[in-house]
Structures are given as structure tokens and as C-alpha cells.
Amino acid sequence: MSVKAVVDLINQHEKDAVQRLVDWLSIPSVSTDPEYAPDVRRAAEWCAAQLREAGINAELRETGGHPIVWAEHEGAPDYKGPHVLFYGHYDVQPPDPLELWNSPPFEPVILPADGDGPDTPGERIVARGAVDDKGQVAAFLEACRAWKEVAGGVPVRMTIMIEGEEESGSVNLERFVEKHSDTLNKADICVISDTGMLGRGKPAITYGVRGLAYTEVILHAGDQDLHSGQWGGRCPNPINELTKVLAQLWDGDRRVTIPGFYDNVLGLTPGEREEWKSLGFDQEAALKRIGLDSAADVGEAGFSALEREWARPTCDINGIYGGYMGKGAKTVIPAWAAAKVSFRLVANQDPDSIVKAFRAWLDDHTPPGCRWEFHDHGGGWPGNVSTESKELEAARRAIATAAGVEKAALIKTGGSIPVVGLLKKELDLDTLLVGFGLDDDRVHSPNEKFELECFRIGMRTHAHLMDEFMRMG
């Protein structure tokens, strides 16, 4: 009973695997919108049923919000490897704006390759959640199914926790983790497939995700909207004032000006600088794919694009609104203006302290006659993992074999997966991030896709990873 038989079976049954993924993607599990709650639950049930078909006794556990797909699996009687916690999420982002989709977001379609170069999309499945994260979780589910068929059961001892609220801030996860800490403490390593590769044919292990602090601020001026002829120049216009304040968030080097913002930031090591340079990342090509040229390579002075994404904290305004936003013109001084402002954080920045510092900075910059209203939208700690564990070595071998490359790259990502920092902080548990996405997968955007070649690499990697874990004693 070898891993070869498992991989052969995965190859033979690829069509069925794709069909199963299509079924899952057809369930609109949008976690942020309460209207979808029954669909979210249906997607969880679908996932639990798949695990049960693979001989894993999965169930739904309530969180107060959307349920978590949960399983505790013993593995083979002679299993001596690490106890693995598998984490993923079955919820998806809202599909909006709908009019930009070439096919309905919850009616998955398989599209043929556009070409065969490294810069053009290959054969792919298009739907909301295709790569983030159903397709990637499905790669794991398919590996479980194949191991069960070949060996009678999944050999690895594991706990499975597949969340339904990742895309809406994991608001109930911390409490759930605390409540289940006895079981979760038994895990030696967490495995997550919710990140990307370095590029087509360049599989990678991600050893760091950034943290996030998301806030919303409203600047209030008068208690009513006003005629801008009568009142313009006579009293504060909150949009003028808000934009003036927010523009001061960055200095000429594009560094964030909030006092103390960089205090705890762990700098890049000289080793990292060299290693990342040697990855041969082509920023100009990446910019080109989003319609920009090299003049657009901007960000914090003194750092390369990869360094800025992977190792530097940032501040972004994600939305700004207020005043007249309808058709045509309306001469108005609005009563208020608002912005959604978020920070991506790196080790060792604490999201709560950053939000506090931001609010104190805003208070110091309150425009005359105005007042602030603050809202917090949560976030999560940055998560960094050691690149020297034997589990990571095992994963590197699994990926290399599965993808037919000599060595998997070691990368970081600028995205955030709150559970990584949470598990480290609460349980001192390290995570292996083995993800199969591509830069141009349109994560969170219309026409999200997952390439079938990435799906194949994912299924095979999980099959090999289970084999590697079995060999560890």
C-alpha cells in the first residue's frame, strides 16, 4: 500500500474530483451576509459528508455564528508521526460586483487554457471560492478520499477544523479555539492550504502571513446637510477635512506617520534580502498583468516590492464615502464623511495597539469644530513560522514530488489568515502553509478561478504529505 497507488487513483478519478468541487462551489456560502446563512450551513454539511465518505467522523460544531466542520481522527493503529491539525475555510467572499462576472459566480464553469506560457491562465474552474478556499480544501478532501480507498482509511492522526467565518473576520474563532484547547493542544503542527505559489510551476511553502487591523472612522461636522453656496467657506466641510487629515498618514517616503507605528517591527534579516532577491520575482511583469507599467512600482522607500508585500507594514484606505454620490451634481456640504482604513501588520505588531495609536493620532488631528466616531472591524495577528522544522522539510519533499520540481520555494505573503497568529499565541502551535493559488487567480474579485493544474498539484501534495507524516516517527 504505497503512496504511488494513492496518487494513481487521484489521477484516474480527476473528473469526479472536479465534479465534486463544482457541486461545492454551487453552494453560495457567503458568510458576511445573513441572508446566505442556510447556504453557509449547507456548504458545511457538504464538507462534513465528504469527510465521512473518507472514513473520517466529521460533524458540525456550533460557534454562535456559522458552524465549524470538526473531526477528530485517530489514524492508523501504528501511526507514529505528528498529530496534524488541518484548518481551512468553506465560506466565501460576496460575489459583487455581479455584472463583471462572465458567468454566474455560483454556476461553476471549466474554461480551456488561454495558451501555455507561464503568464497565461491554464485550464481552470471559474466560480466564487474556487481558489479561496474551497478548491484548496477540496485538494485535501480528495487526498483523504484516495487514501481511504487505497489503504482502508486516512493513516494520519488529525484534528480537522474547517471554518465558515474566515471571510467575515473569524469573529467566533478565538472563543472556539479556547473552548477546544484541550483537543487542539494535542496537535503538533497545523496544515493550511489557503495561500499561493511563487508562480506557475513554482510551488512554494509560505512561512509568514501579515496581520490585519481594520477600522472605520466617521468625521462629523454640522448636524445637517447644507447648501454649499450659503455655507461653503463658512464652516467645516467634513470631506475636505477628512481627506486633509488622511493625506497626512504617509510621509514623502511613503512611511506611515503614526507615532510608534514601526516600534515593534521586526526587520528583514540580511539572509532574507538575499534569498528573496534570488527568487527572481518580476515586479514589472506583475504590474503589467494589472495594467500598470514600471512607474507604478511605488511603496515605502528603501524596500523592493516583495519586501514591501512580505515584510513591511502598510496602511490603506479601503473605502471613502459621504456627501452626494448619486448621478449628476448636487451643491452640498454634507454633515459627515467616512473612511474604511486598514493596516497590514508584520511581526511583532499588535493589532489592538495599532488601532489605539491610530485613534490617538486622529484625536490629535481633529479638524476645528469636528468630532470623530470610531468603529472597529477586527483583524488578526501576523503569523510567522519557523523554516527549520522537520515538518517543513517533509512538506518540501511532498511538494517537490507532487509538482515534479527539485525544490519548493520558501515565500511569504502579504495576505492575512488570522488563525495562524491565533494558534501560535494561544497554543504555541506552528503552521505549515502549503497553498496552490496563483497571483492572477482574482481572489475576492469577479471571475475568481482555480487552475486544474494547481488542483492536481494540491491533491498530490496532500497525498504525499500524509505519506511523509507516516514516515516520521
Select 194 or 309, whichever has its Cβ closest to Mn ion. Answer: 194
Min CB(443)–ligand BES separation in Å: 5
Q: How far is the CB of 210 from ligand BES (least distance, A)?
A: 8
By CB under 6 A, which span of 6-14, 20-28, 40-48, 191-199 interacts with ligand BES? 191-199
- Decide if residue 309 touches ligand BES (CB under 6 A): no
Check residue 458 for interaction with ligand BES (CB under 6 A).
Answer: no
Which of residues 285 and 301 has its CB atom nearest to ligand BES in the complex? 285
Pick between residue 194 and residue 391 the one whose CB is nearest to Mn ion.
194
C-alpha cell at 333: 456640504
Cis status, amide bond into 97, omega within 30 of 0 = yes
Q: Exactly one of 416, 431, 447, 461 binds ligand BES (CB under 6 A); which one?
A: 416
> Of 245, 347, 417, 470, which one interacts with ligand BES (CB under 6 A)?
417
Residue 132 binding ligand BES, by CB under 6 A: yes
| CB 347, min distance to ligand BES, A | 16
C-alpha cell at 73: 481522527
CA dist 335 → 218, 332, 338, 366 (Å): 10, 9, 11, 15
Residues recorded for the chain: 473
- What grid cell was written down for 88? 481551512
Q: What count of Cα atoms within 13 Å lies in the side-chain half-sphere of residue 458?
A: 34
Which option in Mn ion, ligand BES, none does residue 416 bind, with CB closer than 5 to 8 A by kind? ligand BES
Half-sphere exposure (Cβ direction) of 422: Cα atoms closer than 13 Å: 21
Q: Which of 59, 443, 445, 446 binds ligand BES (CB under 6 A)?
A: 443
Q: Name which of 40, 41, 48, 43 is nearest 72 in CA terms.
A: 48
- Count the helix, strand and coil residues of the chain and give each as a percent rounded to the nearest 5: 40, 20, 40
Contact of residue 349 among ligand BES, Mn ion, none (CB under 5-8 Å per partner type): none
Q: Of the ranges 166-174, 287-295, 328-336, 361-369, which one interacts with ligand BES (CB under 6 A)?
A: 166-174
Smallest gap from Cβ 132 to ligand BES, in A, equals 5
Using an 8 Å Cβ cutoff, are 214 and 342 in contact? yes
Alpha-carbon gap, residue 199 to 382, rounded angstroms: 23
Work out the end-to-end distance of the chain between its first and last CA atoms, rounded to an integer number of angstroms.
Answer: 19
Contact 359, 218 (CB under 8 A): no
Q: Which residues bind Mn ion (CB under 5 A)?
A: 132-133, 194
Cβ proximity to Mn ion: between 194 and 272 the closer is 194
DSSP H stretches of helix in 248-389? 270-278, 283-289, 305-311, 351-364
Which residue, 172 or 401, is less far from ligand BES as judged by CB? Answer: 172
User: Out of 193, 384, 401, 413, which residue is the one contacting ligand BES (CB under 6 A)?
Assistant: 413
Q: Which stretch binds ligand BES (CB under 6 A): 43-51, 61-69, 116-124, 193-201?
A: 193-201
* Interface pick for ligand BES out of 129, 164, 169, 351 (rule CB under 6 A): 169
What is the DSSP code (8-state) at residue 341? E
Sheet holding 371-380, edge to edge: 314-322, 336-345, 211-220, 371-380
Total residues contacting ligand BES by CB under 6 A comes to 16
- Which region, judged by CB under 6 A, interacts with ligand BES, from 33-41, 165-173, 350-358, 400-408? 165-173
Least distance CB 417 / ligand BES (angstroms): 5
**Binding test (CB under 6 A) with ligand BES, winner from 166, 307, 448, 467:** 166
Query: Closest approach of Cβ 94 to ligand BES, in Å?
Result: 12
Footprint of ligand BES on residues 204-223 (CB under 6 A)?
Answer: 212
CB of 134 to ligand BES, least distance (A): 11
Buried b (16+ CB within 10 A) or exposed e, 106-137: bebeebeeeeeeeeebbebbbbbbbbbbbbbb
Q: Which three cell numbers stand for residue 402?
A: 507532487
Measured CA distances, 110 to 15, 27, 106, 115 (Å):
11, 17, 13, 15
| Interface region with ligand BES, contact rule CB under 6 A, candidates 13-21, 190-198, 265-273, 297-305 | 190-198
The closest alpha carbon to 425, from 359, 358, 351, belongs to 351
Where are the extended beta strands (E) located within 229-370?
314-322, 332-333, 336-345
Contact positions toward ligand BES, by CB under 6 A?
132-133, 166-167, 169, 194-196, 212, 380, 413, 415-418, 443
